Structure 1
Amino acid sequence: MNVPTVNQEGFEQIVNSGETALIEFGASWCAPCRALGPILDEMSAEYGASLPIAKVDVDDSPELASTYGVMSMPTVILFYKGSPVDKLVGLRSKAVYQAAVERSCKVS
Protein backbone atom coordinates (compact mmCIF):
# COMPACT_ATOMS: atom_id res chain seq x y z
CA MET A 1 0.00 0.00 0.00
CA ASN A 2 1.46 3.35 -1.03
CA VAL A 3 0.86 6.42 1.10
CA PRO A 4 -0.47 9.23 -1.12
CA THR A 5 1.28 12.55 -1.58
CA VAL A 6 -1.23 15.37 -1.20
CA ASN A 7 -1.47 19.09 -1.88
CA GLN A 8 -3.40 21.69 0.16
CA GLU A 9 -6.82 20.35 -0.84
CA GLY A 10 -5.93 16.70 -0.21
CA PHE A 11 -4.28 17.65 3.07
CA GLU A 12 -7.45 19.36 4.31
CA GLN A 13 -9.57 16.36 3.31
CA ILE A 14 -7.36 13.89 5.16
CA VAL A 15 -6.83 15.98 8.30
CA ASN A 16 -10.55 16.68 8.57
CA SER A 17 -11.77 13.22 7.48
CA GLY A 18 -12.11 11.79 10.97
CA GLU A 19 -10.60 11.96 14.40
CA THR A 20 -6.98 11.10 13.59
CA ALA A 21 -4.47 11.59 10.78
CA LEU A 22 -0.71 11.28 10.33
CA ILE A 23 1.03 13.57 7.84
CA GLU A 24 4.68 13.34 6.83
CA PHE A 25 6.32 16.50 5.52
CA GLY A 26 9.29 15.66 3.31
CA ALA A 27 10.73 15.78 -0.20
CA SER A 28 11.53 13.27 -2.93
CA TRP A 29 15.26 14.11 -2.75
CA CYS A 30 15.42 13.60 1.05
CA ALA A 31 17.07 10.24 1.87
CA PRO A 32 15.61 9.94 5.41
CA CYS A 33 12.17 10.71 3.93
CA ARG A 34 12.58 7.87 1.44
CA ALA A 35 13.64 5.56 4.30
CA LEU A 36 10.47 6.53 6.18
CA GLY A 37 8.27 5.50 3.23
CA PRO A 38 8.17 1.75 3.98
CA ILE A 39 7.42 2.43 7.66
CA LEU A 40 4.45 4.60 6.74
CA ASP A 41 3.28 2.00 4.21
CA GLU A 42 3.32 -0.67 6.93
CA MET A 43 1.48 1.55 9.37
CA SER A 44 -1.11 2.43 6.75
CA ALA A 45 -1.76 -1.27 6.14
CA GLU A 46 -1.94 -2.00 9.89
CA TYR A 47 -4.18 0.89 10.94
CA GLY A 48 -6.30 1.01 7.79
CA ALA A 49 -9.11 3.57 7.74
CA SER A 50 -8.75 4.33 11.46
CA LEU A 51 -5.58 6.33 10.74
CA PRO A 52 -5.38 8.15 7.39
CA ILE A 53 -1.74 8.69 6.44
CA ALA A 54 -0.41 11.03 3.75
CA LYS A 55 2.73 12.83 2.66
CA VAL A 56 3.19 16.51 1.82
CA ASP A 57 6.07 17.39 -0.50
CA VAL A 58 7.47 20.60 0.98
CA ASP A 59 8.82 21.66 -2.42
CA ASP A 60 5.31 21.49 -3.91
CA SER A 61 3.48 22.87 -0.84
CA PRO A 62 5.81 25.29 0.97
CA GLU A 63 2.83 27.14 2.50
CA LEU A 64 1.73 24.01 4.37
CA ALA A 65 5.26 23.43 5.64
CA SER A 66 5.44 27.02 6.83
CA THR A 67 2.01 26.88 8.48
CA TYR A 68 3.07 23.89 10.59
CA GLY A 69 6.60 25.09 11.36
CA VAL A 70 8.39 22.39 9.38
CA MET A 71 12.10 23.24 9.48
CA SER A 72 13.67 19.78 8.97
CA MET A 73 12.72 16.67 7.08
CA PRO A 74 11.14 14.34 7.60
CA THR A 75 8.68 15.87 10.04
CA VAL A 76 5.67 13.78 11.02
CA ILE A 77 2.70 15.59 12.52
CA LEU A 78 -0.19 13.79 14.16
CA PHE A 79 -3.57 15.47 13.98
CA TYR A 80 -6.53 14.81 16.25
CA LYS A 81 -9.88 16.26 15.21
CA GLY A 82 -8.13 18.58 12.74
CA SER A 83 -5.56 20.02 15.17
CA PRO A 84 -1.87 19.08 15.46
CA VAL A 85 -1.20 17.17 18.68
CA ASP A 86 2.32 15.80 18.21
CA LYS A 87 5.34 16.54 16.01
CA LEU A 88 8.25 14.16 15.42
CA VAL A 89 11.26 15.65 13.64
CA GLY A 90 13.78 13.40 11.93
CA LEU A 91 13.67 9.73 11.04
CA ARG A 92 12.50 7.55 13.92
CA SER A 93 11.76 3.87 14.33
CA LYS A 94 8.34 2.45 13.55
CA ALA A 95 7.81 1.83 17.28
CA VAL A 96 8.28 5.54 18.03
CA TYR A 97 5.63 6.51 15.46
CA GLN A 98 3.26 3.83 16.75
CA ALA A 99 3.71 4.98 20.35
CA ALA A 100 3.03 8.58 19.33
CA VAL A 101 -0.14 7.53 17.54
CA GLU A 102 -1.37 5.53 20.52
CA ARG A 103 -0.50 8.30 22.98
CA SER A 104 -1.73 11.28 20.99
CA CYS A 105 -4.65 10.00 19.02
CA LYS A 106 -6.13 7.10 20.95
CA VAL A 107 -6.28 4.94 17.79
CA SER A 108 -7.22 1.32 18.34
Structure 2
Amino acid sequence: MSFLKKLFGGAGGATPGEPAVVDSRDYAGFAIKATPMPEGGQFRLAALIEKEIGGETKVHRMIRADLFASKDDAAAFALRKAEQVIDEQGEALFNN
Protein backbone atom coordinates (compact mmCIF):
# COMPACT_ATOMS: atom_id res chain seq x y z
CA MET A 1 0.00 0.00 0.00
CA SER A 2 1.32 3.43 -0.87
CA PHE A 3 2.37 5.96 1.76
CA LEU A 4 -0.37 8.41 0.70
CA LYS A 5 -3.10 5.78 1.04
CA LYS A 6 -1.89 5.02 4.56
CA LEU A 7 -1.64 8.70 5.43
CA PHE A 8 -5.10 9.60 4.22
CA GLY A 9 -6.93 6.44 5.25
CA GLY A 10 -7.28 4.71 1.89
CA ALA A 11 -7.77 1.35 3.62
CA GLY A 12 -9.93 -0.06 6.35
CA GLY A 13 -13.40 0.60 4.94
CA ALA A 14 -13.19 4.38 4.83
CA THR A 15 -14.24 6.31 1.76
CA PRO A 16 -11.16 6.85 -0.42
CA GLY A 17 -9.39 9.97 0.81
CA GLU A 18 -11.32 9.92 4.09
CA PRO A 19 -9.77 8.55 7.30
CA ALA A 20 -11.74 5.93 9.24
CA VAL A 21 -13.31 7.53 12.33
CA VAL A 22 -13.04 5.24 15.37
CA ASP A 23 -14.45 7.59 18.05
CA SER A 24 -15.60 11.19 18.24
CA ARG A 25 -16.69 13.87 20.66
CA ASP A 26 -17.52 17.57 20.81
CA TYR A 27 -15.19 19.75 22.86
CA ALA A 28 -15.35 23.53 23.40
CA GLY A 29 -17.27 24.09 20.16
CA PHE A 30 -14.98 21.83 18.11
CA ALA A 31 -15.69 18.34 16.75
CA ILE A 32 -12.91 15.82 17.35
CA LYS A 33 -12.77 12.60 15.33
CA ALA A 34 -10.17 9.99 16.29
CA THR A 35 -8.70 8.36 13.18
CA PRO A 36 -5.88 6.01 14.26
CA MET A 37 -3.63 5.00 11.38
CA PRO A 38 -2.46 1.37 11.12
CA GLU A 39 1.31 1.16 10.83
CA GLY A 40 3.56 -1.87 11.19
CA GLY A 41 1.16 -3.83 13.41
CA GLN A 42 0.51 -0.79 15.61
CA PHE A 43 -1.64 2.34 15.38
CA ARG A 44 -0.39 5.91 14.98
CA LEU A 45 -2.22 8.62 16.93
CA ALA A 46 -4.26 10.75 14.51
CA ALA A 47 -7.43 12.83 14.59
CA LEU A 48 -9.47 15.38 12.70
CA ILE A 49 -10.34 18.60 14.52
CA GLU A 50 -13.26 20.48 12.93
CA LYS A 51 -15.13 23.70 13.58
CA GLU A 52 -17.61 25.74 11.59
CA ILE A 53 -16.29 29.28 11.18
CA GLY A 54 -18.15 31.85 9.08
CA GLY A 55 -20.40 29.20 7.57
CA GLU A 56 -17.46 27.06 6.44
CA THR A 57 -16.28 23.87 8.13
CA LYS A 58 -12.57 24.15 8.85
CA VAL A 59 -10.60 20.92 9.33
CA HIS A 60 -7.19 20.33 10.88
CA ARG A 61 -5.56 16.89 10.47
CA MET A 62 -3.49 16.04 13.55
CA ILE A 63 -0.91 13.24 13.17
CA ARG A 64 1.53 12.46 15.98
CA ALA A 65 4.56 10.20 16.22
CA ASP A 66 2.99 8.19 19.07
CA LEU A 67 2.29 4.52 18.34
CA PHE A 68 -0.06 2.22 20.29
CA ALA A 69 -0.63 -1.52 20.32
CA SER A 70 -4.42 -1.17 20.06
CA LYS A 71 -6.67 0.97 17.90
CA ASP A 72 -8.84 1.81 20.93
CA ASP A 73 -5.84 3.11 22.92
CA ALA A 74 -4.72 5.23 19.96
CA ALA A 75 -8.24 6.65 19.62
CA ALA A 76 -8.55 7.48 23.33
CA PHE A 77 -5.20 9.26 23.41
CA ALA A 78 -6.01 11.07 20.14
CA LEU A 79 -9.14 12.55 21.70
CA ARG A 80 -7.19 13.73 24.75
CA LYS A 81 -4.35 15.16 22.66
CA ALA A 82 -6.80 16.98 20.39
CA GLU A 83 -8.42 18.58 23.46
CA GLN A 84 -4.98 19.76 24.58
CA VAL A 85 -4.28 21.23 21.12
CA ILE A 86 -7.65 23.02 21.16
CA ASP A 87 -6.93 24.44 24.63
CA GLU A 88 -3.51 25.69 23.48
CA GLN A 89 -4.36 27.01 20.00
CA GLY A 90 -8.13 27.44 19.68
CA GLU A 91 -9.26 28.72 16.28
CA ALA A 92 -5.65 29.72 15.45
CA LEU A 93 -5.28 26.02 14.60
CA PHE A 94 -6.88 26.80 11.22
CA ASN A 95 -4.68 29.79 10.31
CA ASN A 96 -2.17 27.72 8.33
TM-score, normalising length: structure 1:
0.28
Higher helix share: 1
| Larger Rg, first or second structure (1 or 2) | 2
Choose between structure 1 and 2 for higher RCO, CA contacts under 8 A separated by at least 6 residues. 1
TM-score, normalising length: structure 2:
0.30
Higher strand share: 2
